[in-house]
Structure 1
Amino acid sequence: MRIGGLQKLTLLDYPGKVACTVFLSGCNLRCPYCHNPGLVLPEQSEGSEIPEAEVLSFLERRKGTLDGVCITGGEPTLQPELPEFLEKLRRLGYAVKLDTNGTNPAMLKALLQERVLDYVAMDIKNSPSRYAETCGGIDCLSRVRESAALLMDGTVDYEFRTTVCAPLHTPRDMEELGRWLKGARRYFLQPFADSGALVGGGVSPLSEDEIKALRDSVLPYIPNTQIRGQ
């Protein structure tokens, strides 16, 4: 396991849980607005990874204090050791939330079948017609569609979410996205904030009114659409 970081306490990352967040290194996408280049490009953080045993020891000590563990990245499903690691978390008594970009439906399906997930937050990068553009030119839409269908047809609790920025996200894009994911359980728009350290460039934050216009374009298709942080 390539563990790039550990946030020991979060009240935000796992809905309804007191949790910690484990950051796994490496990602197969290059979204220009991503603010975690050290996790997407793990060669930038060589030598700073955390041993799995250290994380498990921390979680052993925090039993009874923490309710859940968020697994995020990077893209966690790229790591073949992930199922075994999640099983260890379950044996410690933790609820498990997975953050994923949905590009590895085979791994997601296996995790769902093995019942090691309690909640999945899946990034939806954009409308189908602009998906590759938003991922840094990487064609992954067919795999993302498969993962989205697994969640919508399954029993594990989930959310879809999109980090929105200019010029990548417009009301027309959001309407197309809404038609694609019509009837989804819940969907969040996450405003992009420029951290100054991005994977790419050429993007900027949207105004509050612009983000509300994006939400309004999705609402007819996904009634439980919200702007995260509001």
Structure 2
Amino acid sequence: MKIGGFQKFSLIDYPGKICAIIFTQGCNFRCPYCHNPELVDPKLFQEPFDEEDIFRFLEIRKGKLDAVEITGGEPTLQPDLIEFMKKIKSMGFLIKLDTNGTNPEVVEKIIKSKLVDYIAMDVKAPLEKYHNVVRTDVCTEKIMESITIILNSNIDYEFRTTVVKNLLTEEDLICIAKLIRGAKRYVLQKFVLSKTLDKSFASNVKYFSEDELNTIKEKVKKYVSECIIR
């Protein structure tokens, strides 16, 4: 596993659990608002973390940590992801996986192998607008396939969208809600100003107001069981 970052403790990233976070290097998207450019742009990659150091840390945190979150970058690009998850599972930890849904065959295998307890899938835009947001070629059929796999699974999950007016309208967000119709949880994720993959993006960002987000939330709830503004 190419691991570009490791956070030893978090109370907010896995709902209701204390977790550590593993950040994988490499992503097949180029979302301008991405706040982890050092995990996306190969020119910014640092020397990867040693897996064994992480396993040693997790070993001594048994009973204190509930879970491990694997995020990125895009974790499903890692060829040894499944073996890595098996090792973590064998230590007794819950696993949360963050994914952009571009590798449904990997997502399905992980679910069927009972290696994941919670999946957070980013749905970036309505399918016809995906390229505008991710700034690279994308097979939207694979995105839809991942959505369907997750909706039909028995694991806990959330779908989430980073909301910025520069890229998405209210109607776009309602369209996404229809795309994931019947989902148990949809998160409208507010853009937080920090470093961005596209350095010019932060200076021109346009935010939804709280009132606008609450209005969207009420409209979205027609299609999903729960909508959260985060």
| Normalised TM-score (structure 2) | 0.94
Residue of structure 1 equivalent to 2:15: 15
How far the C-alpha of 1:74 sits from its partner, in A, is 0.4
Q: Aligned partners of 2:205, 2:129: CA distance in 1, in Å?
A: 15
| Distance in 2 separating the partners of 1:216 and 1:193 | 22
Task: State the partner residue of 1:45.
Answer: 45
Separation in structure 2 between the aligned mates of residue 68 and residue 19 of structure 1, nearest angstrom: 5
Between the aligned partners of 1:15 and 1:84, the Cα distance in structure 2 is: 25
Distance in 2 separating the partners of 1:36 and 1:204 = 20
Deviations 1:86-132 (A, max 9, x none): 00001101000000000011111111111100110100101222112
Q: Which runs of 4+ in 1 moved over 6 A?
A: none
Letter in 2 for 1:18: I
| 8 Å contact from structure 1 (residues 178, 217) kept in 2 | no
Q: Does 1:143 align with 2:139?
A: no
* Equivalent runs, 1:124-203 vs 2, <5 Å: 124-195=123-194, 197-200=195-198, 201=201, 202-203=204-205
Paired position in structure 2 for 1:55: 54
Distance in 1, matches of 2:197 and 2:212, equals 24
| 1:172 positional shift | 0.8
The aligned residue for residue 29 of structure 2 is 29
Whichever residue aligns with residue 42 of structure 1, its letter is P
CA distance in 2, matches of 1:137, 1:6: 27
Matched length: 226
- Is residue 101 of structure 1 aligned with residue 100 of structure 2? yes
Q: Matches of 1:34 and 1:204 in 2, distance apart?
A: 15
Read off the aligned partner of 2:13 and give its amino acid letter.
Answer: D
> 2: distance between equivalents of 1:150 and 1:29?
21
- SS of 2:34's partner is coil
Take 1:162 and 1:17, find their aligned partners in 2: how far apart are those partners? 22
The 8 Å contact of residues 32 and 203 in structure 1, kept in 2 or not, is answered as no
CA distance in 2: counterparts of 1:134 and 1:158, whole angstroms: 23
Give CA-to-partner distance per residue, 1:20-55, whole Å, 9 cap, x none. 1111111000111111100111330232x2111111
SS at match of 2:225: coil
TM-score (norm. length: structure 1): 0.94
Deviation at 1:167, TM superposition (A): 1.7
Percent of matched pairs sharing the same residue: 44
Whether the 8 Å contact between 2:4 and 2:46 is mirrored in structure 1 is: no
Mapped contact 1:26–1:41 kept (Cα < 8 A) = yes
Q: Is the 8 A contact 1:25 1:40 kept in 2?
A: yes
Question: In structure 2, what is the Cα distance between the partners aligned to 1:60 and 1:43?
Answer: 33
What is the letter of the counterpart of residue 222 of structure 1? Answer: V
Q: What's the CA shift for 1:213?
A: 3.0
The runs of 5 or more residues in structure 2 that have no matched partner are none
Which structure 1 residue ranges, 5 or more long, are not aligned?
none
Q: CA–CA distance in 1 between the matches of 2:132 and 2:16?
A: 34
Q: Tell me, what secondary structure is at the counterpart of 1:102?
A: coil
Contact (CA 8 Å) 1:172, 1:217: kept in 2 or not? Answer: no
Using the TM superposition, name which of 36-45 and 54-63 deviates more: 36-45
